[in-house]
Amino acid sequence: MTTRVGTVVMAVLLALYLVFAIYYATVLFGTGDGIAISMGAGLLLLALAGGGFIAAEIVFGIRAETLARRLEEEGGLPEEQLPVGASGRVERAAAEEVFPRYRAAVEATPDDWRAWFRLALAYDTAGDRRRARWATRTAIRLERGGTPDVRL
């Protein structure tokens, strides 16, 4: 839930930034000065790039959440009860113990989005966010009819 709130806050802040960026870019364009026009164009490009990145992250989040909900409805989510430390996070050693099983499942069925999504959850539990996002993207691509990214 906190991720969703953070995403909404970032999207609102970006929208506010876009409004100001467009306003100031038009002010700079109106000066007729070449340097000011260039600065206005740069301001617009940065704002549009930021908007594109936020939009891509929102789409990624929605698709990942859809897969998680679908896997939960099918009863396919991992059911291990891993020990939790004082911080509330799963103990990394325990997460790394169950990880090989999910990796083996992906190696056995590389075209199965469910196996990839469970692997993504294992990566996330182990604290490897970069690989968790990569495995989630692979699961999304497979669920949508694409091909797997075979580098494990």
pTM: 0.75
User: Looking at the domain 92-143, which fold is it?
Assistant: 1.25.40
The predicted-structure confidence for 49-103, as pLDDT tens digits, reads as follows 888 888 898 899 899 999 999 999 998 888 777 777 777 677 777 777 778 888 8
Domain ranges of the chain: 2-73, 92-143
Q: Token pair for residue 5?
A: 């709130």
Report percent pLDDT > 90 for the chain: 36
Cβ(119)–Cβ(137) under 8 Å?
A: no
- CB within 8 Å of 17: residues ≥ 6 apart: 47, 50
In whole angstroms, what is the distance from residue 107 CA to residue 112 CA? Answer: 10
